[in-house]
Amino acid sequence: MKSSVRRRRNPWPRRIISTTVLLLIVVALVAGLVTLISRAIGPESRRAGQVQTAVQSGQTAHAQSGDTYAQSGQGSQSGATVGGVPVCDPQSFQATIALGASPVLIGQGTSFDVTFTNKSNRQCFTTFDQAGLLVDTGGYTVYDTTSCESQSGQVPLLFGPHQSWTGHIAWDGRIYDASCQAVDTDSDGKADIADAGGYTARLSFAGRVLTKTPLTFEVRYE
């Protein structure tokens, strides 16, 4: 009578297959969870990213005469937010202005060094086009950036509590009317050159004049 030898089955292939299947299930569950979380926070992250241009002293943005700006008052609505960050309230801001170069020669214009400071205890969002420059002489305004529509001034600015932003706003030394149109009395296709004499410069923010004492300067011949 032949003796039969019972073969022992090797359990390892089955264990390996079971472990692999389990790992695949875990990976699929984790991937699905990550996808759901990404979909949930994605839109908010994108909105927050739109306002993450930090305000640092020394950053600059330039505005040339003839460029256009947002109508005064835009972006200053009470309670408005951008990506969850409140829009800056002009009543919570102060500003300083200084002449960028001296002397100011007739027909050459100048730039002004400007600083805007958030005096409030909370961060807020705005854009560079909310910063306005007004140049006057003899009670007549020769340049007012706030009367122009925006083209290139949409530089985002995120102010922290009590944080300042420093930049430059330029004036080309020519005359523009209340609608930001070039005053061209000699029909040469260019704005008239501002005469030599005394001038003042003031700053506004979202339609509110912040400069208590205007900067005085002189435009003169070489």
Looking at residue 123, which CATH number applies to its domain?
2.60.40.2360
167, two tokens: 């930049």
Does the pLDDT at position 85 exceed 80?
A: yes
CB half-sphere exposure, 140, CA atoms < 13 A: 11
Pair 150, 85 in one domain: yes
Q: How confident is the model at residue 65 (pLDDT cuts 50, 70, 90)?
A: very low
pTM, 2 dp: 0.63
Same domain flag for 94 and 193: yes
56 inside domain: no
For residue 152, name the pLDDT band (cuts at 50, 70, 90).
very low
Are 105 and 204 in the same domain? Answer: yes
36 lies in the same domain as 101:
no
Same domain, 87 and 34: no
**Whether residues 35 and 86 fall in one domain:** no
Do 150 and 41 share a domain, yes or no?
no
What is the C-alpha to C-alpha distance for residues 209 and 126, in angstroms, rounded to an integer? 16
Rg (CA), the chain: 31
Could you tell me if 45 and 89 lie in one domain? no
210 shares a domain with 149: yes
Q: What is the DSSP string of 30-51?
A: HHHHHHHHHHHHHHHHHHHHTT
Q: Which two tokens stand for residue 118?
A: 């958030």
**76 within a domain of the structure (yes/no):** no
The domain of 29 spans: 12-49
pLDDT of residue 28: 66
Q: Are strands 104-105 and 215-220 parallel, antiparallel or unpaired?
A: parallel
130 in the same domain as 39:
no
Q: Does a structural domain hold residue 177? A: yes
Task: Kindly state whether residues 19 and 108 are assigned to the same domain.
Answer: no
- Name the domain count of the chain: 2
Judge whether 105 lies within some domain. Answer: yes
